[in-house]
Structure 1
Amino acid sequence: MTNVLASVTALLVSVAILLVGHGLQLTLAPMYADSLGWTAQEIGYTGSAYFGGFVVGCLVVPTLVARVGHIRMFAVLASTATAALLLLGLFESVVIWMIARGMTGLAFAGLYMVIESWLNERTTSQHRATVLSIYVIITLIAICGGQLLVGLQLDFRGLIMLSAILLVVGMIPVGLTRSVAPAPIPAISFKFREVYRASHVAVVGAFVGGLVTAGFWSLGPVVAKGFELDAAGVGVFMASAIFGGAVAQLPLGRLSDRMDRRVVLAAIAMTGMVVNLGAFFLVDASRDLLYIVMFLYGGVTFPIYSLCLAHANDNTDLQLMEIASVILMTQSVGAVVGPLVVAALMAYSSSGLFLFAGVVLAIFTVWTLWRIRAHETERAYFEPYHGVPRTTHAATEIYAPELSDTEM
């Protein structure tokens, strides 16, 4: 295990630094746009552009990596993300921001794919789960830490510079590594019809997950400002949701191993409906209550992706990578749509995020319960739950060889 960790230490250090910078800019961008006097709809456009760029990145980056290799592509993508971030400090145009946010989404989709395929290449089946767990922990801690940097005594342009510095510094450990570049990233094999036919709930659930979580990432800081939180409070508001998602991931996954995963999905959707509709009516809530609500929000929305992936994997003999491609892309489409709808609702209420998420989760709850009653599931291809990060389909490749070894 020591040798395995030593072979990926430089990569994991780069991941930690990069994602602190990324976590900072995820919250900083909508806060800065709000300070410029932009409407929620304009901010929503930039959020949708980010997730649109993410989809494009998942499609085009594997081909680019095959041409130039992981290390060069890592540097190119991190440089692209840095340049896109600096554009936000130079221009106050919605159109330019949409282009910049799209570039950021593309760059980070590519970075996640490079990182995850690299981890897969450097680990054996005996240690894959441990390495992925370390990666997920680093990811969550780094992004949470980035949220809290929003509270530093710097103006918005100063915070942009800090985020850019972190992105640049994050390239250094990988740039200095002497490791041999891993094999090319496998291209996406998109078999939507087969996956949807095998598991309606998994595909629809992934779309719902994209709708509700993207609204949070794109407009959560604006919602927090509506509750009159200062910059530090906004950071804690966002970090509370991320921490909630991290805490709930494994217990919900283990529970779903013991029963119909659709029941678990329906239960967390119902809980999410109650949490969100309750939050919608929190007008004069204390800070502590708001943070608790956001902890619960993250706990019932962030695990949806992994649960849907596990449920789809139970019901088809397709390769895990093929299933993950469909689930990820479906979630990404929802992520493009979500900020636009939330922004439209926020024209009428600053808590439109909670109203939207509550209504969507209510509809998903009713539909899932109907599917449970109308259609039995046999779990013909059951595999235990793995807390796969909601990054790119390449993360599942870390588990794929391990699952194959189990089946032999």
Structure 2
Amino acid sequence: MRTVLGSVGTLLLSAAILLAGGGLLATLVAVRADGEGFPLEAIGLLTSGYYAGFMAGCLATPFLVKRVGHVRVFAALSALTAAAVLFHVIAINVPVWFVLRILTGFAFAGLYMLIESWINEQTPNEQRGQVLSIYRMVDLGAVTAGQFMLTLADPQGFVLFSVVAICVCLAIFPISLSTSKAPMAVTTTSLNIKKLLKTVPLAGVGCFAVGLANGSFWALAPVFVRQLGHPVVVISLFMSIAIATGALLQWPVGFLSDKFGRRKLIIAMSALAAGAGYFLWHYSPQSVMLMLVGGALYGGFGMQLYGLSAAHANDHAEPHEFVSISGGLLLIYGIGSIIGPSLAPFVMSAFEPSAMFAFTGVVHAMLMLYALYRRVQHDGPEKPKRFVSMPRPRSMMAILRADPRVKRPKKPKKTKGAELDNL
């Protein structure tokens, strides 16, 4: 294991720096947009633009890698990201920021995919589960650190955008000096969404619902806290608590789903997430403590549903279908993440900031009812396979190939004089 960590250590360091910058940027854009007086609908639209760009980046990156190689694509996308981040403070208006969020989503999708595929390539099959667990810890720690970086300077200034750009640029340094060989090109996978929804409709509906609810959360939760009159440190604390509890409950929820079945846990987590939304809607305006408790409840319950939905789909799949099915679920999640942030602002504008969680509560309640319906209608018993916890939905295929249940294809033998991807 020490040898493996030695080979992926620099890659994990690059991932940590990039994730910290990405975590900071997501919250910073929402807070700064609210401070600039952007309408709630516009702030939601910015996040929809990010997810649209992200989906495009997931699909386009494999073709770019085949064309010029991993290192060149990583450098190009890093430059695009840094430029887009800094341009936020040069032109502050909704149309320009919408384009910048599309570009940023496109670039971050490629960067995440490249790092994750590289880590996976350097990991032997028998140790992939352990390395994936370490990656989860890096993911959680880095994104949480990014939330607290929000307190380093005034979000209305240029410093924090510069910090994000610095993080993106610094992420190039370890990966450029790594002695690890560049991986094979990330391959695309054919996606049959119609077949997926016919075979495991609950998984598809679950991922769409998660996109609606969690896409709205990432887009508007910082605005919700800010509009309740709390300082930046409370925004970072609220987001960090939700992220941390969501990660910490992955293992016990996965264990329970292995024992009692996915549908029962989807029903339970949906009901509890709906309750957490109701709690935040009614009690978060009363005190900071109640708001933080509500954030912990939402993160603990609402952020389990993607993993449970993906596990439910994989229970009905053969090992060679895991990547295809998971890619389809990520696409459905992305569609929900585009729609959700566009709808939730209208609820907040019509009622109050905390009404955003009335929106997420309705989404989770509808998912619970659909899961109950599927449980009654389904004839056969569930036969869950071993639950494999995954990081937050991010890249299209790369991290899914680190799933220890998936057998990777053998590397082709290098021909004499083959061009090396290390320039």
Bucket of the pairwise TM-score, normalised by the shorter protein: over 0.9
Q: Is the 8 A contact 2:16 2:142 kept in 1?
A: yes
Report the counterpart of residue 387 of structure 1 in structure 2: 389
Would you say 1:81 and 2:81 are equivalent positions?
yes
Greater Cα shift, 212-221 or 170-179: 170-179
Alpha-carbon deviations, 1:32-82, whole Å to 9, x = none?
011111110011110100011111111111111112222222222222211
Amino acid aligned to 2:157: F
Report the counterpart of residue 186 of structure 1 in structure 2: 187
Instruction: Give the 5 Å matches for 1:245-284.
Output: 245-282=246-283, 284=285
Alpha-carbon deviations, 1:126-149, whole Å to 9, x = none?
110010111111011101110011
Percent of aligned pairs with the same amino acid? 34
Would you say 1:3 and 2:7 are equivalent positions?
no
Pick closer, same or farther for the CA change 1:336–1:284 going to 2, 3 Å: closer
Q: Is the 8 A contact 1:8 1:122 kept in 2?
A: yes
Q: Provide the TM-score with structure 1 as the length reference.
A: 0.96
Note the C-alpha offset of 1:316: 2.6
Q: Is the 8 A contact 2:62 2:186 kept in 1?
A: yes
Amino acid aligned to 1:127: Q
Q: Is the 8 A contact 1:321 1:394 kept in 2?
A: no
Report the counterpart of residue 418 of structure 2 in structure 1: none
Q: Which of 401, 404, 419 in structure 2 is aligned with 1:397?
A: 401
Report the counterpart of residue 326 of structure 1 in structure 2: 328
| C-alpha separation in 2, matches of 1:6 and 1:206 | 36
Q: Is the 8 A contact 1:24 1:163 kept in 2?
A: yes
Question: Structure 1 unaligned runs (5+)?
Answer: none
Q: Is the 8 A contact 1:203 1:327 kept in 2?
A: yes
Count of residues in correspondence between the two structures = 403
| C-alpha separation in 1, matches of 2:278 and 2:286 | 14
| C-alpha separation in 2, matches of 1:284 and 1:383 | 42
Report the counterpart of residue 366 of structure 1 in structure 2: 369
User: CA RMSD, aligned part only?
Assistant: 1.5
Report the counterpart of residue 344 of structure 2 in structure 1: 342
Amino acid aligned to 1:50: Y
Amino acid aligned to 1:177: S
Note the C-alpha offset of 1:289: 1.9
Note the C-alpha offset of 1:404: 4.3
Note the C-alpha offset of 1:188: 2.7
Q: Is the 8 A contact 2:150 2:236 kept in 1?
A: yes
Pick closer, same or farther for the CA change 1:377–1:115 going to 2, 3 Å: farther
Report the counterpart of residue 113 of structure 1 in structure 2: 113
Report the counterpart of residue 204 of structure 1 in structure 2: 205
Q: Is the 8 A contact 2:153 2:159 kept in 1?
A: no
| C-alpha separation in 2, matches of 1:226 and 1:42 | 16
Q: Is the 8 A contact 1:152 1:232 kept in 2?
A: no
SS in 2 for 1:274: helix
SS in 2 for 1:156: coil
Greater Cα shift, 206-215 or 281-290: 281-290
Q: Is the 8 A contact 2:15 2:112 kept in 1?
A: no
Report the counterpart of residue 41 of structure 1 in structure 2: 41
Note the C-alpha offset of 1:153: 3.5
Note the C-alpha offset of 1:152: 1.9
| C-alpha separation in 2, matches of 1:248 and 1:32 | 31
Q: Is the 8 A contact 1:215 1:338 kept in 2?
A: yes
Report the counterpart of residue 360 of structure 2 in structure 1: 357
| C-alpha separation in 1, matches of 2:278 and 2:77 | 39
Note the C-alpha offset of 1:370: 1.1
Amino acid aligned to 1:125: N
| C-alpha separation in 2, matches of 1:160 and 1:213 | 24
Amino acid aligned to 2:356: L
| C-alpha separation in 2, matches of 1:177 and 1:87 | 30
SS in 1 for 2:88: helix
Instruction: Give the 5 Å matches for 1:126-165.
Output: 126-154=126-154, 155-165=156-166
